Amino acid sequence: MGKIFFLIIVINLNSFISCAIIPNQTSLTPPLLLLISLDGFRWDYPDIYQLPTFNSLVQRGVRVKHIEPSFVTATFPLHWTMITGFHEESHGVVGNVMYDPESHATAGYGDLNDTKWWAQNPHIEPIWIGNQLANDSLHRRSGVIAWPGSNVPINGHLPSRRLPFDFNRTCRTVMQQAFEWFHEPLETRINFGAIYCFESDRTGHAHGPLSSEMNQTLHQLDKDLSELLHLIDADPYLKTNLNVIVTADHGMHEVKANQRIKLDNYIDSTLYKAYGSRIFLNLFIPLAKNIDRLYRNLSGIPNLEVYKKAQIPQRYHYQSNVRIGDIFLVTKLGWEIISPGDDESHVSFGAHGHDNQETSMHPIFYAFGPAFRTNLQVESFRSVDFYPLMSHVLQLKEVETNGSFNNVQGILKEFFKTDILNTIHTLITKTTVKLRNWGYVEIVCLISVILMGLVFTIVACRYSKQLVYVQSQYEPIRYRLLSITEGSTNNFVASDSDADEVIN
Ligand SMILES: *[C@@H]1O[C@H](CO)[C@@H](O)[C@H](O)[C@H]1NC(C)=O
Ligand SMILES: *[C@@H]1O[C@H](CO)[C@@H](O)[C@H](O)[C@H]1NC(C)=O
Ligand SMILES: *[C@@H]1O[C@H](CO)[C@@H](O)[C@H](O)[C@H]1NC(C)=O
Ligand SMILES: *[C@@H]1O[C@H](CO)[C@@H](O)[C@H](O)[C@H]1NC(C)=O
Ligand SMILES: *[C@@H]1O[C@H](CO)[C@@H](O)[C@H](O)[C@H]1NC(C)=O
Ligand SMILES: *[C@@H]1O[C@H](CO)[C@@H](O)[C@H](O)[C@H]1NC(C)=O
Ligand SMILES: *[C@@H]1O[C@H](CO)[C@@H](O)[C@H](O)[C@H]1NC(C)=O
């Protein structure tokens, strides 16, 4: 009986293989991959705001519920992590505002347009370069829109096609431009696209992650994505061949108006210079003897993590770089730092930059296309793992990064198939050894089992999608609008009255 049961398993595993779709790729056409980053798109927005297109992506491909970003959870550093596979201490983009003590240079959003900020480590390259330089094909080209760092040459290379960041360019336009680049004739089209949209981050800062404005922005992005899917589906070549990843750099958390830590109340502003954001700061202290004095005054402040450089926790992977300060500060969720010169009248209702283990800092991740499994939900992986994933999808030579291919291979169709093939191979090898000891009755049994297996195969083929699907454990939080008498004219409140979710 054990043998028969065994055979049923073998034959039915086989049905998964017969149901797998083989992607249509010829040696002349390199693999196609579009990477979409929607700045500040928190992992749970599609559930909270019931975004139909985003939620439909689970049937079409894979959803990874939690991406653990690298630390600090800020836009420029994380976009460089996503596209290079390295933690921030290794690639050197350690903030949106930085100081480099080696060149005595400072830079912020507007002037991070110099190669030196992005190429501190000359061995680290964005994947758009790796794609362009791969020697296996005449038709590899990368197209990049507004991705931080794409406006400067790295090791002498710019993306084949690129458009700079522009607040006037909506996500709809960005997506349509990327589609046009993929849609061109083989001789000119791109095979890798990396595009950036700012809307979800801007609304998150201005109105908070839980607000009717955020609802509006996200439903607009949902519509934009839906239009892109229609364009792809209407093109038989792209529908069959284009792989798409929809993700983001970080999440977003509410900021309370009265939760400010004003550095001038604790330390003498003439003794240091601070670079970073309202959530984290790198303090550069010219006189070493002042480090302990400043540290002593700062270390008792509630809701603030304070570290001397050597004490920054290992898990942040944010320490071994000259651009990280002598003292490093990062706030607990909901709190802001006001440093000297900061315009205190400027109010934001949402922020990011905090501990990368905080779930509100986690962004979305969806992937679909010929390389990816379908109807699959996976718990988590890290931003540094994107590079090995994309590198594999693009069939590039393996490059050592801080990411791990082992962490991501489970979402690839190819590996799912190989896994099962290996299992079957092992099972069949064991079975054939045993067959020699079998008698007449067993052989008859074997034949009937094979017939049963065939029937199973047909049935399993029809239901294979359901079998692969992993049910979500996540219960979305329900929201209702606050009425004016409850002290607000706008904003959502979680109906389970979690005080943290109320915005004033
Ligand atoms: C596969 O790709 C080739 C090359 O572009 C194309 O001509 C062919 O129609 C495609 N086949 C399918 C089934 O999509
Ligand atoms: C970088 O931007 C600044 C400010 O917009 C500008 O003055 C400078 O010329 C730019 N540098 C380069 C290398 O493009
Ligand atoms: C591609 O070939 C060129 C010229 O032979 C070489 O310099 C380059 O390193 C190669 N690139 C890769 C990724 O192998
Ligand atoms: C964006 O559009 C506004 C008004 O339409 C215009 O004044 C502004 O110059 C534009 N900005 C850029 C960067 O093109
Ligand atoms: C969010 O926006 C959508 C589309 O605009 C609308 O249908 C929905 O009712 C809004 N949700 C809330 C809670 O306001
Ligand atoms: C520490 O705090 C004390 C009391 O407020 C202040 O007098 C002193 O200047 C501070 N020390 C530094 C190094 O800022
Ligand atoms: C990341 O990669 C760099 C360069 O290979 C290496 O020095 C560093 O130790 C790695 N970081 C981690 C956390 O493995």
C-beta separation of 12 from 424 below 8 A: no
And the tokens for 105? Answer: 């240079």
Write out 363-416 in H/E/C secondary structure: ECEEEECCCECCCEEEEEEEHHHHHHHHHHHCCCCCCCCCCCHHHHHHHEHHHH
| 236 Cα to the center of ligand 6, angstroms | 68
Whether 267 lines ligand 6, by a CB cut-off of 6 Å, is yes
DSSP string, 15-54: HHHHHPPPP---TTS--EEEEEEETT-BTTHHHHTT-HHH
Helix H or strand E encompassing 233: helix 212-233
Residue matched to tokens 């400067």:
152
Phi first, then psi: give them for residue 338, nearest 5 degrees.
-105, 115
**347 contacts: CB under 8 Å, gap ≥ 6:** 257
pTM: 0.81
In the prediction, which pLDDT does 68 show? 98
| 167 Cα to the center of ligand 4, angstroms | 8
In the prediction, which pLDDT does 488 show? 34
Above 60 in pLDDT, residue 88? Answer: yes
Q: Which residue's CA is the nearest one to ligand 7's atom 12?
A: 402
Residue matched to tokens 């003897």:
289
Kindly report, residue by residue over 394-447, the tens digit of the pLDDT: 999 999 999 999 999 999 998 877 666 677 777 776 666 555 566 676 667 677
Mutate which of 215, 492, 493 for ligand 5? The one with the most ligand atoms within 8 Å of its CB, which is: 215
Kindly report, residue by residue over 92-143, the tens digit of the pLDDT: 999 999 999 999 999 987 778 899 999 999 999 999 999 999 977 678 999 9
% of the chain with per-residue pLDDT over 70: 80
Kindly report, residue by residue over 163-192, the tens digit of the pLDDT: 999 999 999 999 999 999 999 998 899 999
Whether 240 lines ligand 6, by a CB cut-off of 6 Å, is no
Strand partners, 197: 38
Using DSSP, how many helices (H) and how many strands (E) does the chain show?
16, 20
Mutate which of 53, 55, 211, 219 for ligand 5? The one with the most ligand atoms within 8 Å of its CB, which is: 219
Q: Which fold has domain 32-86+124-254+356-411?
A: Alkaline Phosphatase, subunit A (3.40.720)
Q: Which residue's CA is the nearest one to ligand 4's atom 10?
A: 168
d(CA 214, CA 216): 5
Above 70 in pLDDT, residue 26? Answer: no
| 30 Cα to the center of ligand 1, angstroms | 13
| 494 Cα to the center of ligand 5, angstroms | 15
Above 50 in pLDDT, residue 272? Answer: yes
Q: Which residue's CA is the nearest one to ligand 6's atom 1?
A: 297
Catalytic residues: 75
Give, as one character, the DSSP assignment of residue 102: T
Whether 111 lines ligand 2, by a CB cut-off of 6 Å, is yes
Atom of ligand 4 nearest to the CA of 168: 1
Pocket (CB within 6 angstroms of ligand 5):
212, 215, 219
- Secondary structure class of 133 (helix, strand, coil): helix
In the prediction, which pLDDT does 19 show? 42
Question: Strand ranges (DSSP E) for 287-335?
Answer: 304-308, 327-331
| 490 Cα to the center of ligand 4, angstroms | 29
Q: Which fold has domain 260-351?
A: Gyrase A; domain 2 (3.30.1360)
Between the CA of residue 416 and those of 20, 75, 379, 423, 450, what are the distances in Å? 10, 33, 17, 11, 24
Kindly report, residue by residue over 278-306, the tens digit of the pLDDT: 999 999 999 999 999 999 999 999 999 99
Helix H or strand E encompassing 65: strand 61-68
